């Protein structure tokens, strides 16, 4: 006997600075300012032509990976040569490749250190910009396994893989990318199983109103930075739900970043995101208010024959689609009725749309149709 699953979808319409010039001469005469974990330093390079370089160091007391942040809060804006130059090395002779930092921007680096190894950092102005004024800050963070202090409300800091936020499946997290140059990226860490289907459900609640380049980007990668799916952008008041299936069991990273390099890179964004297991893997697959979440096939709410479902597409961006699943047997006849009981009734653009398909949309049982308030189909 062939058994088919059908899916019912309801949706509303949604109208080079020259690095060779970096200072590398570390002699006993250089005065290195000692850095401590999660203690921010705010420093300046003055307009004195001899005050163009500053030296910092950090000694690791364990084998660990640390995250270094360098923020150029204020400085000249005249191309790459005016950036704050970075020179990062270790006592073991390693050279850490790092970008220079333009005014109003931040550079992050994850760096592995052995016990007793010293990290050396030189920050400098280049050439004709040696007598320009710079204000900058720098800070070193440990990994979560080595005592990283995290803000429970904002999950910060979480700008690199090393300090990414450990999160749970089937849980919605709401956070922000704060205005300014420091918080332009959030990274969340998940453990996923190979061959299982998951749903990424995300909403942008607030951000710039531009519908072209004002959105933020979502990407999911494995531990080797291989993409699981193509990165996508979302703008204000937009919701997106997509399914994906990992090929390898392991750790995965969801990166959410502002449009770097655009005028919106320093803007404020508010968003929510979650990765959901298939509903059949939930401890209680029938839990959830108003049958939510149910935006994809794998988390669609399973109906029974003769069951009446009363629900709504709530106001706002985070509930634009409802999907239901029904087990159907061959040779039987079925009748499905849908009534729009309330909602906007301004024009055909405000009508609810629905369609009925088999799994993955392979067979269309009822093509897309619309229902006005007060109508039944």
Collapsing DSSP to helix, strand or coil, 297 comes out as helix
Two tokens, residue 63: 């084998």
Let me know if residue 199 belongs to a domain: yes
The residue that leads in pLDDT, 47 or 10, is 47
Residue 111 and residue 179 in one domain = no
pLDDT at 214: 66
Residue 50 and residue 93 in one domain = yes
Q: Indicate whether 10 pLDDT > 90.
A: no
Q: Rounded mean pLDDT of 349-358?
A: 89
Q: Indicate whether 13 pLDDT > 80.
A: no
* Sequence-separated (6 or more) residues with CB below 8 Å from residue 102: 72, 77, 80, 82, 83, 84
Let me know if residue 218 belongs to a domain: yes
Let me know if residue 61 belongs to a domain: yes
Phi then psi for residue 306, to 5 deg, are: 70, 5
Tens digits of per-residue pLDDT, 170-186? 999 999 988 767 788 99
Collapsing DSSP to helix, strand or coil, 80 comes out as helix
Let me know if residue 290 belongs to a domain: yes
Report yes or no: 239 and 200 within 8 Å, Cβ to Cβ: no
pLDDT at 21: 39
Q: Give the total number of structural domains in the chain.
A: 3
How many Å apart are CA 286 and CA 369, to the nearest integer? 28
On the 0-12 / 13-18 / 19+ scale of CB atoms within 10 A, 123 is buried
Q: Indicate whether 56 pLDDT > 50.
A: yes
Residue 296 and residue 241 in one domain = no
The residue segments making up the domain with residue 264 are 152-277
pLDDT at 16: 36
> Prior bond to 157 cis, omega within 30?
yes
DSSP letters spanning 38-77: T--EEEEE-S-TT--EEEEEEE-SSSEEEEEEEEEEE---
The rounded percent of the chain whose pLDDT value lies above 70 is 89
Q: What does the DSSP 8-state code read for residue 304?
A: P
pLDDT at 209: 67
pTM: 0.85
The residue that leads in pLDDT, 347 or 138, is 138
How many Å apart are CA 319 and CA 341, to the nearest integer? 17
Residue 273 and residue 156 in one domain = yes
The residue that leads in pLDDT, 288 or 293, is 293
Q: Collect contacts of 278-287 with beta carbons under 8 A, ≥24 apart.
A: 278/196, 278/197, 278/198, 278/199, 281/196, 282/170
Residue 172 and residue 259 in one domain = yes
Q: Indicate whether 193 pLDDT > 50.
A: yes
Residue 132 and residue 198 in one domain = no
Q: Indicate whether 295 pLDDT > 80.
A: yes
Residue 289 and residue 265 in one domain = no
The two beta strands, 33-34 and 53-59, are parallel
pLDDT at 252: 98
Split at pLDDT 50, 70, 90, the class of 350 is confident
Residue 248 and residue 186 in one domain = yes
> Prior bond to 293 cis, omega within 30?
yes
Tens digits of per-residue pLDDT, 313-328? 877 777 888 999 999 8
Let me know if residue 27 belongs to a domain: no
Q: Rounded mean pLDDT of 192-198?
A: 97
Split at pLDDT 50, 70, 90, the class of 19 is very low
Residue 161 and residue 256 in one domain = yes
CB count in 10 Å sphere of residue 162? 25
Let me know if residue 19 belongs to a domain: no
Report yes or no: 12 and 320 within 8 Å, Cβ to Cβ: yes
Split at pLDDT 50, 70, 90, the class of 242 is very high
pLDDT at 244: 96
pLDDT at 25: 47
Residue of 344, 336, 338, 348 lying closest to 376 (CA atoms): 338
**Domain containing residue 111: CATH number:** 2.60.120.380
Residue 254 and residue 311 in one domain = no
Report yes or no: 100 and 80 within 8 Å, Cβ to Cβ: yes
Tens digits of per-residue pLDDT, 36-49? 999 999 999 999 99
Q: Indicate whether 365 pLDDT > 50.
A: yes
Domain edge (last residue) among 277, 298, 326: 277
Domain edge (last residue) among 82, 116, 144: 144
Split at pLDDT 50, 70, 90, the class of 377 is confident
Domain edge (last residue) among 108, 124, 144: 144
Instruction: Report the range of poorest mean pLDDT among 8-22, 48-62, 191-205.
Output: 8-22
Tens digits of per-residue pLDDT, 141-163? 999 888 999 988 889 999 999 99
Residue 335 and residue 267 in one domain = no
Place of tokens 């189909």: 377
On the 0-12 / 13-18 / 19+ scale of CB atoms within 10 A, 201 is buried
How many Å apart are CA 129 and CA 24, to the nearest integer? 19
Let me know if residue 18 belongs to a domain: no
Let me know if residue 22 belongs to a domain: no
Split at pLDDT 50, 70, 90, the class of 266 is confident
Residue 196 and residue 209 in one domain = yes
Residue of 63, 62, 52, 55 lying closest to 35 (CA atoms): 55
Phi then psi for residue 299, to 5 deg, are: -115, 15
């Amino acid at each position: 006997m062939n058994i088919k699953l059908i899916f019912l979808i309801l949706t509303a319409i949604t109208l080079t600075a020259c690095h060779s010039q970096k200072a590398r001469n570390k002699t006993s005469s250089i005065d290195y300012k000692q850095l401590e974990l999660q203690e921010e330093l705010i420093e300046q390079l003055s307009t004195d032509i001899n005050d163009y370089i500053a030296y910092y160091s950090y000694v690791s007391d364990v084998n660990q990976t640390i995250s270094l942040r360098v923020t150029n809060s204020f400085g000249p804006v005249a191309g790459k040569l005016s950036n704050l130059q970075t020179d990062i090395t270790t006592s073991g002779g390693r050279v850490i490749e790092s970008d220079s930092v333009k005014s109003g921007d931040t550079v992050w680096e994850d760096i592995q250190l052995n016990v007793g190894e010293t990290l050396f950092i030189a920050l400098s102005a280049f050439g004709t910009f040696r007598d320009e004024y710079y204000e900058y800050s720098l800070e070193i963070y440990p990994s979560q396994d080595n005592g990283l202090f995290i803000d429970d409300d904002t999950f910060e800091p979480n700008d690199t893989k090393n300090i990414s936020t450990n999160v749970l499946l089937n849980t919605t997290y709401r956070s922000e990318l704060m205005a300014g140059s420091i918080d332009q990226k959030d990274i969340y860490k998940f453990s996923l199983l190979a061959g299982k289907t998951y749903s990424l459900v995300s909403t942008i609640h607030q951000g710039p109103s531009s519908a072209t380049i004002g959105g933020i980007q979502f990407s999911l990668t494995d531990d080797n930075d291989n993409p699981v799916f193509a990165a996508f952008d979302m703008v204000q008041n937009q919701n997106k739900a997509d399914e994906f299936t990992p090929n390898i069991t392991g750790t995965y990273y969801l990166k959410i970043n502002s449009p770097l390099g655009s005028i919106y890179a320093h803007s404020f964004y508010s968003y929510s995101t979650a990765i959901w297991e298939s509903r059949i893997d939930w401890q209680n697959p029938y839990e959830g208010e108003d049958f939510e979440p149910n935006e994809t096939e794998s988390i669609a709410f399973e109906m029974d024959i003769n069951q009446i479902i009363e629900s709504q597409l709530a106001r706002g961006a985070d509930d634009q689609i409802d999907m239901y699943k029904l087990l159907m047997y061959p040779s039987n006849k079925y009748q499905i009725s849908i009534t729009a009981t309330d909602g906007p009734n301004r024009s055909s653009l405000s009508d609810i749309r629905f369609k009925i398909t088999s799994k993955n949309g392979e067979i269309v049982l009822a093509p897309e149709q619309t229902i006005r308030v007060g109508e039944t189909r």
